[in-house]
Protein backbone atom coordinates (compact mmCIF):
# COMPACT_ATOMS: atom_id res chain seq x y z
CA UNK A 1 0.00 0.00 0.00
CA UNK A 2 1.37 3.41 -0.97
CA UNK A 3 0.83 6.49 1.21
CA UNK A 4 0.98 9.76 -0.71
CA UNK A 5 3.12 12.50 0.82
CA UNK A 6 1.34 15.50 2.21
CA UNK A 7 2.72 18.53 0.29
CA UNK A 8 2.20 20.77 3.34
CA UNK A 9 4.63 18.76 5.49
CA UNK A 10 8.26 19.10 4.33
CA UNK A 11 10.40 15.98 4.19
CA UNK A 12 13.69 16.61 5.97
CA UNK A 13 16.91 14.95 4.94
CA UNK A 14 19.59 13.72 7.35
CA UNK A 15 21.66 16.90 6.94
CA UNK A 16 18.68 19.11 7.68
CA UNK A 17 17.78 17.08 10.77
CA UNK A 18 21.39 17.32 12.00
CA UNK A 19 21.43 21.10 11.41
CA UNK A 20 18.12 21.48 13.21
CA UNK A 21 19.45 19.43 16.15
CA UNK A 22 22.67 21.50 16.45
CA UNK A 23 20.74 24.77 16.15
CA UNK A 24 18.37 23.77 18.94
CA UNK A 25 21.26 22.47 21.08
CA UNK A 26 23.26 25.71 20.69
CA UNK A 27 20.19 27.80 21.44
CA UNK A 28 19.46 25.76 24.58
CA UNK A 29 23.09 26.15 25.75
CA UNK A 30 23.02 29.90 25.19
CA UNK A 31 19.79 30.27 27.15
CA UNK A 32 21.25 28.16 29.98
CA UNK A 33 24.43 30.32 30.00
CA UNK A 34 22.36 33.50 30.11
CA UNK A 35 20.20 32.22 32.98
CA UNK A 36 23.34 31.17 34.88
CA UNK A 37 24.83 34.66 34.33
CA UNK A 38 21.63 36.33 35.60
CA UNK A 39 21.57 34.09 38.68
CA UNK A 40 25.21 34.89 39.53
CA UNK A 41 24.90 38.65 39.01
CA UNK A 42 21.48 39.03 40.64
CA UNK A 43 22.74 39.79 44.16
CA UNK A 44 26.24 41.20 43.62
CA UNK A 45 25.50 44.21 45.87
CA UNK A 46 24.56 41.93 48.75
CA UNK A 47 27.45 39.51 48.30
CA UNK A 48 30.26 42.06 47.95
CA UNK A 49 30.55 45.30 49.95
CA UNK A 50 31.31 48.62 48.27
CA UNK A 51 34.98 49.51 47.94
CA UNK A 52 36.42 51.95 50.46
CA UNK A 53 38.22 55.14 49.34
CA UNK A 54 41.55 53.51 50.24
CA UNK A 55 40.86 50.64 47.85
CA UNK A 56 39.89 53.11 45.11
CA UNK A 57 43.16 55.01 45.62
CA UNK A 58 45.19 51.79 45.54
CA UNK A 59 43.53 50.61 42.33
CA UNK A 60 43.92 54.01 40.69
CA UNK A 61 47.62 54.19 41.57
CA UNK A 62 48.29 50.63 40.44
CA UNK A 63 46.81 51.52 37.04
CA UNK A 64 49.09 54.55 36.73
CA UNK A 65 52.33 52.73 37.55
CA UNK A 66 53.91 51.66 34.29
CA UNK A 67 56.17 48.73 33.54
CA UNK A 68 59.88 49.48 34.02
CA UNK A 69 61.71 50.72 30.94
CA UNK A 70 65.36 49.97 30.21
CA UNK A 71 67.60 53.02 29.81
CA UNK A 72 70.60 53.02 27.45
CA UNK A 73 72.87 52.64 30.50
CA UNK A 74 71.16 49.37 31.43
CA UNK A 75 69.34 50.80 34.46
CA UNK A 76 65.60 50.45 34.85
CA UNK A 77 63.32 53.48 35.00
CA UNK A 78 59.78 53.24 36.29
CA UNK A 79 57.28 56.06 35.86
CA UNK A 80 55.20 56.58 38.99
CA UNK A 81 52.38 59.06 39.46
CA UNK A 82 53.57 61.56 42.10
CA UNK A 83 50.23 61.54 43.91
CA UNK A 84 50.63 57.83 44.68
CA UNK A 85 53.88 58.24 46.62
High-pLDDT (> 70) share of the chain, %: 55
Residues 6 or more apart in contact with residue 27 via CB below 8 angstroms: none
Amino acid 27: pLDDT: 97
pLDDT single digits (tens) 19-41: 999 999 999 999 999 999 999 88
pLDDT single digits (tens) 41-55: 888 878 877 777 777
- Residues in a beta bridge with 70: 76
DSSP 67: P
Instruction: Give the angle subtended at the CA of 31 by the CAs of 25 and 34, to the nearest 5°.
Output: 140
pLDDT single digits (tens) 48-82: 777 777 776 776 666 666 666 666 676 655 555 55
Sign, CA dihedral 40-43-49-52, equals positive
Integer-rounded Cα Rg, in Å, for the chain is 30
Amino acid sequence: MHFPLNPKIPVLGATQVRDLYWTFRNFRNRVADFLRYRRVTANMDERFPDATPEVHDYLYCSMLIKEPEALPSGLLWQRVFIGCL
